[in-house]
Amino acid sequence: MPSLSDLLDIFSPSSAEAKVLADKRAMTVLKDILANQSSDYLPALHKDIVRQADALPQEVTVHATPELNSAYGNAAEYDPMQDRIRYDPSYSNQDLTHILPHELMHFMNQAKRVGLDTAKQHDIIELLLGAKRYQPAAQFEGYQQPVIPPGYQDLIKQWLGR
């Protein structure tokens, strides 16, 4: 599978070793996230998450798993043992625009060795992205940057570099 940077030709010294490898559908969604020119909080954060994940030296694969939702009740999941994100392809590209950055945050927790447990990851993901579990994309319309509690500021900086 080609990497996201291979397809987008956005090489810089820090992204020359890009490692987000995705199937065609996920790659389309990730490319759309990066092409979004909105300066609104959530689209800009999604773009930042995708860029940072793609710049990490560790590989993560992203691919459709049709039975995922029916078997496990998940829209997507990150498997840290295999550095793999599986997503349910029955969700729209608009929904995947919110689902894939969520899973990439789990990947970055592992790759950057932040060491947060899943519950703490979901607390921060909910704060930053507006939900810890799947919500329809329409729920996020107009979502604004939250106030970051002091105890989370260092964790978020370590995790997202912000």
- pLDDT, tens digit, 9 for 90 and up, residues 33-86: 999 999 999 999 999 999 999 989 899 999 999 887 765 668 999 999 999 999
Instruction: Mark 19-49 as b/e (b = at least 16 C-beta within 10 Å).
Output: bbbbeeebbebbeebbeeeeeebbbebbbeb
Q: Are 117 and 158 in contact (CB under 8 A)?
A: no
Burial of 104 (C-beta count, 10 Å sphere; 0-12/13-18/19+): buried
CA distance 2 to 32: 16
pLDDT in tens, 88-145: 999 999 999 999 999 999 999 999 888 889 999 999 999 999 998 888 888 898 899 8
Q: Where do we find the tokens 């496990």? A: 72
Taking each helix axis from N to C end, the angle separating 41-55 and 150-160, rounded to the nearest 10 degrees, works out to 50
Domains and CATH numbers, the chain: 4-160 (3.40.390)
Q: Where do we find the tokens 């990066």? A: 34
Q: Are 38 and 44 in contact (CB under 8 A)?
A: yes
What's this model's pTM, rounded to 2 decimal places? 0.86
Q: What is the pLDDT of residue 74?
A: 84
Q: What is the pLDDT of residue 2?
A: 55
